[in-house]
Structure 1
Amino acid sequence: MTSTVPESFPPRACPFHGDASITEPGPMTKVTLRSGQEVWAASRHADVRTVLTDPAFSANRANPDFPNPTGRRFQQDRGLKPSLITLDPPEHGPARRAVLGEFTVKRLAALRPRVQEIVDAHLDAMLAHESRTADLVEALAQPVPSLVICEQLGVPYDDHEFFQSRSRTLLSRKAAAGDVRAAADELRAYMDKLVGEKEPTPTDDLIGRQIAKHRAEGTYDRDALVSLAVLLLVAGHETTANMISLGTLALLQEPEQLALLKADPSRTPAAVEELLRQFTIAEFVTSRVAVADTEVGGVTVKAGEGVLTLGNAANHDPAVFAEPDRLDVTRGARNHIAFGYGAHQCLGQNLARVELRIVFDSLFARVPTLRVDVPVSDLPFKDDATIYGLHSLPVSW
């Protein structure tokens, strides 16, 4: 059976679930992308995990057969080093290990007080509004992770409007290919200049430490570091920002679930996992292309065939998650794949968890009367972006 992914991506059937056309977990199915490319869609939890761990599948987006839901294709056609998320073994392992030390439990524990300071400062500013109203995206969800990742990387936060606007274009499903390429080029040029400024005297931040580390090992590659820094900057603020706004909305829509967190903040870690599972905002990021014939879910995927890994459908698979469409902050299921799975699982996942836990605990403790000012149906969801979220969230208290 073959179905078609429409030219214009449909909104999620429910804001809290997957795209209307391909949301239910089921057998491996052929779908036709807007470009006309026919690929497999893996929607069951087990099938998605198989695709993300089987060496027969490649993450190389330069492969012309790689599934591309947006219809745009960006190959490494100018001699630029590929991003970490596009590398396959044997290159991927050493590249990932080189930066993994920046995201250790010890380093993140040391970061917690600073994240708390950032959250408190933004809540102070929000609560100072005489109108007792705010756009939660603008007041909290966007600036907190942006400032955190800027400080971690060593990127000047004063430049946040520049990189946030380019990130929005880069992640847009509707932007013209030329605009997306221009945004990517501008981000890369910005980061290349910043890395160059740090090279004479490496600073005590992720970029500076990577310069010093690789120089000491004789493996320094400026282009590769620029690619990594752009990836971390974009992913580090876009994903967590969207989860803050969506998670806040979901909890406000479920007062009984929110009451459980207010009564016992020790439940927040489990609630964060449940919200990550429920939204799975990076729906298509982990897709793959087969480089050898292999079997998945009872069908043979041939070399050269692409596979869309539908993480949101997989995270609502009733074979794995009982009553998957119900938000249950006590579920505590860490077997979701909102951060991907296998060797390419998100580097910054534990940083995201730290930020989300601190934000939700602080927000609902300090603003117990928080409420959304418009019906959910009137909210501007990011149906036009490859990372799902909210463009704005009007609230009052």
Structure 2
Amino acid sequence: MSDEDSRPVHIRRRGLDPADELLAAGPLTRVATGSGADAGSQWMATTHAVVRQVMGDHRRFSTRRRWDRRDEVGGEGVFRPRELVGNLMDYDPPEHTRLRQKLTPGFTLRKMRRLQPRIEQIVAERLDAMARAGSPADLVEFVADEVPGAVLCELVGVPRDDRAMFMQLCHGHLDASRSQRRRAAAGEAFSRYLLAMIARERKDPGEGLIGAVVAEYGDEATDEELRGFCVQVMLAGDDNISGMIGLGVLALLRHPEQIAAFRGDERTAQRAVDELIRYLTVTYAPTPRIAMEDVTIGDQVIRKGESVLCSLPAANRDPALVPDPDRLDVTREPVPHVAFGHGVHHCLGAALARLELCTVYTALWQRFPTLRLAEPAQENRFRLTTPAYGLTSLPVAW
């Protein structure tokens, strides 16, 4: 059995596509979880309609994880480990509503417009570095692995002199190849830095995410909530956008007739980005949903306490969502895909992600109009151990 075949079915991929067995699964399927003493099973939802139904029903399907016997499903007690304080996916309404409303000032349309020139500058700097390295060069090394972190540091408000160290801690916390002890040490240092930065922002709020929240709400958002949310933003935003940049460029180079979308007007480019997000869907599945009561979906009963894993790649390749879903077509009108989730937990940073991707793809082909793959397509190396799907490298030439 290959390493790919031994992975849980919901994270198996076939190049740019979800694995055949994932696409062939029924609307609700039992899948194995864990191994040995921890072995068990949970439901996996794969069709667009069922995924939206589960993710859109926060009253009957909770994202909050249970950690001890006092915190039973539907019970009164709430036990939340420190590492999940501020992580919006571990909150149900009304707690979730309270916290999300306080974090929204950092993601307004006005904020995104203010951030756009800086995103364009960051992308230009990384393309300059790739050009200086000369052809061929690794697009993942120079662009996909660098742009997202720099943009997120700008969003959060990390001082420029601290950003290299800050991203080193972030990546150390994410790196699955490290020992658990080393990852935990990096995570603790990451948290200490954030708490110190939050203390500075409370005294003198800046223009970043933390400054915007404390200026608007003061102590209504606690230091630990802000710290946890920043960790969530960095860990999710860095890996997901890195994966999308690399895979998006690969998909376009495999379909060169579609690159023209990024040489036209802004609306055409935005539509193309949305199709790439649907087609590639780098997030395997969001936090599992736990049934708060017995729920019937179709002819299947989900019992109280059972969990449902929602496969976003499978849902976005559902023929009920879009005709010929396995075909990349950047001229499609946007459809209600679930790459950013659905319901109360819809990604708060979706607008930033779209802006960032549109900026990267457009600038890349303006700068390198003859860009091409430097290796045969079958040589592409995909990431198998990171939270989001992507490439370990993408050699390109021009």
Same fold (TM over 0.5): yes
Distance 1:192 1:101 in 2: 20
Which residue of 2 is the match for residue 84 of structure 1?
88
In structure 1, the residue corresponding to 2:313 is in which secondary structure?
Answer: helix
Shift of 1:291: 1.4
Q: Give the direction of change, closer, same or farther, for the CA distance of 1:376–1:63 in structure 2 (3 Å limit).
A: farther
The amino acid that maps onto 1:23 is L
Whether the 8 Å contact between 2:84 and 2:90 is mirrored in structure 1 is no
Shift of 1:118: 1.8
In structure 1, the residue corresponding to 2:22 is in which secondary structure?
Answer: coil
- 1:102-143 deviation line (CA, Å, top 9, x unaligned): 2122221222222222222222232233x3222112212222
Identity of aligned residues (%): 36
- 1:275-319 deviation line (CA, Å, top 9, x unaligned): 111111111224211111112233111111011100100000012
Q: How does 1:21-40 map to 2 (within 5 A)?
A: 21-24=21-24, 26-34=26-34, 35-40=38-43
Q: Give the direction of change, closer, same or farther, for the CA distance of 1:173–1:308 in structure 2 (3 Å limit).
A: farther
Which residue of 2 is the match for residue 288 of structure 1?
289
Whether the 8 Å contact between 1:152 and 1:206 is mirrored in structure 2 is yes
Whether the 8 Å contact between 1:25 and 1:316 is mirrored in structure 2 is no
Which residue of 2 is the match for residue 207 of structure 1?
210
Query: RMSD value over aligned CA atoms?
Result: 2.6
If each structure's helix is expressed as a fraction of its own residues, which one has the higher value? 2
Q: Give the direction of change, closer, same or farther, for the CA distance of 1:367–1:64 in structure 2 (3 Å limit).
A: farther
The amino acid that maps onto 1:359 is V
Which residue of 1 is the match for residue 339 of structure 2?
338
The amino acid that maps onto 2:214 is I
Whether the 8 Å contact between 2:51 and 2:311 is mirrored in structure 1 is yes
Q: Give the direction of change, closer, same or farther, for the CA distance of 1:15–1:23 in structure 2 (3 Å limit).
A: same
The amino acid that maps onto 1:151 is E
- 1:33-57 deviation line (CA, Å, top 9, x unaligned): 1241210000010000011011111
Whether the 8 Å contact between 1:171 and 1:387 is mirrored in structure 2 is no
Distance 2:50 2:85 in 1: 30
- 1:55-76 deviation line (CA, Å, top 9, x unaligned): 11111134579xxxxxxxxx83
Shift of 1:329: 0.3
In structure 2, the residue corresponding to 1:308 is in which secondary structure?
Answer: strand
Which residue of 2 is the match for residue 126 of structure 1?
130
Which residue of 2 is the match for residue 135 of structure 1?
138
Do residues 48 (structure 1) and 46 (structure 2) align? no
Distance 1:9 1:229 in 2: 29
- 1:162-200 deviation line (CA, Å, top 9, x unaligned): 454554455566665555544433322231232233333
Whether the 8 Å contact between 1:119 and 1:144 is mirrored in structure 2 is yes
Total equivalences in the alignment:
381
Which residue of 2 is the match for residue 186 of structure 1?
189
Q: Give the direction of change, closer, same or farther, for the CA distance of 1:92–1:186 in structure 2 (3 Å limit).
A: same
In structure 1, the residue corresponding to 2:128 is in which secondary structure?
Answer: helix
Shift of 1:211: 2.3
Whether the 8 Å contact between 1:25 and 1:314 is mirrored in structure 2 is no
Which residue of 1 is the match for residue 107 of structure 2?
103
Distance 1:261 1:229 in 2: 32
Whether the 8 Å contact between 1:51 and 1:296 is mirrored in structure 2 is no
Whether the 8 Å contact between 1:167 and 1:183 is mirrored in structure 2 is yes
Which residue of 1 is the match for residue 75 of structure 2?
none
Which residue of 2 is the match for residue 116 of structure 1?
120
Q: Give the direction of change, closer, same or farther, for the CA distance of 1:345–1:390 in structure 2 (3 Å limit).
A: same
The amino acid that maps onto 1:136 is L
Structure 1 segments (4+ residues) deviating >3 Å: 5-13, 62-65, 75-80, 156-184, 259-266
Whether the 8 Å contact between 2:115 and 2:155 is mirrored in structure 1 is no
In structure 1, the residue corresponding to 2:296 is in which secondary structure?
Answer: strand
- 1:247-295 deviation line (CA, Å, top 9, x unaligned): 0110011011223443566421111111111111111224211111112
Normalising by the residue count of structure 2, what TM-score does the alignment of the two structures yield? 0.87
Which residue of 1 is the match for residue 240 of structure 2?
239
Distance 1:236 1:300 in 2: 35
Q: Give the direction of change, closer, same or farther, for the CA distance of 1:149–1:12 in structure 2 (3 Å limit).
A: same
Distance 1:372 1:180 in 2: 34
Q: How does 1:188-337 map to 2 (within 5 A)?
A: 188-215=191-218, 218-262=219-263, 266-337=267-338
Whether the 8 Å contact between 1:172 and 1:385 is mirrored in structure 2 is yes
Distance 1:344 1:333 in 2: 20
Q: Give the direction of change, closer, same or farther, for the CA distance of 1:175–1:332 in structure 2 (3 Å limit).
A: farther
Whether the 8 Å contact between 2:106 and 2:212 is mirrored in structure 1 is no
The amino acid that maps onto 2:129 is A
Normalising by the residue count of structure 1, what TM-score does the alignment of the two structures yield? 0.87
- Farther-moved stretch of structure 1 (242-251 vs 264-273): 264-273
Whether the 8 Å contact between 2:136 and 2:395 is mirrored in structure 1 is yes
The amino acid that maps onto 2:18 is G
